[in-house]
Chains A and B, each alone.
Chain A
Amino acid sequence: MAGIFLAVVLLAALARRLDAAGERALMARIALRDKQAFGTLYDRYATLLFSVVLSIVKKREEAEDVLQEVFLQIWNKAPSFDTTRENVYGWLTALARNRAIDRLRSRAYRDTQQEVAETIPEATGLKDVETALDVMIVMEQAERIRQRLQEIPDEQRALIKMAYFEGDSQSQLAEKFQLPIGTVKPRMRQGMKKLYALI
């Protein structure tokens, strides 16, 4: 009996330690179906993800539905989250963006009965970023990021924002802006270089 309680106490102590061990540990706990950890993750990310989703779908009620889908997906997919290769911040923001863009496209499909793309792959392509960027840093600097983005020339900023928040490809952007793709690409490149320099 004492052995069982020793195990119980040690596991509880370890669980508390994991609380402080960062977001990867948080994901590991969620993978073990720890609802408290899930609540912590929600408290940490809900505002950022809701803001991203609302920026994409524009309608508040729809954004609430999408956010709920995103967090349900996080809960269901946490066991397959690879803590050795992926970054929690990158994974969650990509998940929210992709889900919102899916919703946007399915709405466009309903409205126009046009063909829309399948679900965007979840791979972010960003997993090898070594910067220890996390939600707290981004939230603290959100206002600064918005200001810096305003310093980028309009024609470059519009392309970056439409690519990120509307999921448009470079060829779609060329069509929307009635520009040659040979103009879209260098503008996007210059804009991203400026954004990095400003941030």
Chain B
Amino acid sequence: MSLTAQERFEELCAGYVLHAVDEDDRRVFEQMRALATQDMRHTLTQMQHAAWYLPGSAERHEPPTYLRARIMESIAASRPEEQHAGWWERLAASLTVPRLAIANAALIVLVIAGALTYSSLRTANLSLQTAIIQQEQQLTELRSELERKESLLSVLAARTLEMVLMNGLEVNPGGYGKVIWDPDRRAAILQVSNLPTIPTDKDYQLWVIRNQVPVSAGVFAIRQDGREPFFRIENLAETDRRSINAFAITLEPAGGVPQPTGPMYLLGSSL
């Protein structure tokens, strides 16, 4: 029984988050991850979340109390870098007693000033933390998007490319799309435009018509998240270009079906 792209992704993902995938599977997973659909990204987040709880499943054991002292001693003995901590203590210790007396008076004044500025520092600190968290999230999204686009561009950089144009049918005449693939490297891109957004219980399914028989090449969705309609096709790599008659896109239940059942939105002949 062949798996849908989502099911294949889930299998690889489970092994990946447990650090249990073999090297070949890890490479495949990272390629799929770069072009992951929204559902796939959701799956990854869920499985990472589950894996993160596994350390908590270990039976609880307290380390012996002497271990803390032993470890603190060992870091004191280690000299990986210049010791930076406590430089202000060393500075203060280097001062003479009369200087300290003056300093104590100054300290009282400064503590009062410090208390007044404390609340404003706290507010500023919280604002900065919030801004940092937001920027980290944006950065993560941008990195993911960049990886995805680099992967798409790597296909377009091939020496020879094949392309099939697809046109909209009665149900959505304004739609169009194309399949571009690199037969040498067995990588392909699907681009679609003007396809309507669909609910979460539906997916678009791409079909390769080989010798007049439709073979699923994966599912994708157009949701209302503004994502560009470019998708990586995985299953096409296994097909012989000369035996492909056409490509078609139908609307199917989420996850896809073995044979097309829903309305056809796009169709394009490869000849």
Contact = CB atoms under 8 A, between A and B. Distances in A.
B242 interface: no
A4 B107 CA distance: 11
B63 A9 contact: no
Interface residues of B, number: 72
Interface string B10-36: 111111111111100100000000000
Interface in A125-170: 125-126, 128-131, 133, 138-139, 141-142, 145-146, 149, 160-161, 163-165, 167-170
A107 interface: no
Given A35-B85, A50-B62, A141-B56, A170 B140 contact: no
Interface string A28-50: 01001111001100110011111
Interface of A (DSSP majority class): helix
A60 to B, nearest CB: 8
Contacts of B15: 163, 169-170, 185, 188
A67 B67 contact: yes
B59 interface: yes
Contacts of B67: 46, 64, 67-68
Interface of B (DSSP majority class): helix
Interface size class of A (residues with CB under 8 A): 35 or more
Among A60, A145, A161, A192: residue with most chain B CB under 10 A = A192
Interface of B: 7, 10-22, 25, 45-64, 67-68, 70-72, 74-76, 78, 80-81, 83-86, 88, 91-92, 99, 102-103, 106-107, 110-111, 114, 118, 121-122, 125, 129, 132, 136-137, 139-140, 144
Given A52-B55, A199-B50, 12 more contacts: A6-B106, A9-B114, A38-B72, A39-B68, A42-B71, A51-B59, A93-B52, A93-B55, A128-B140, A141-B56, A142-B58, A186-B11
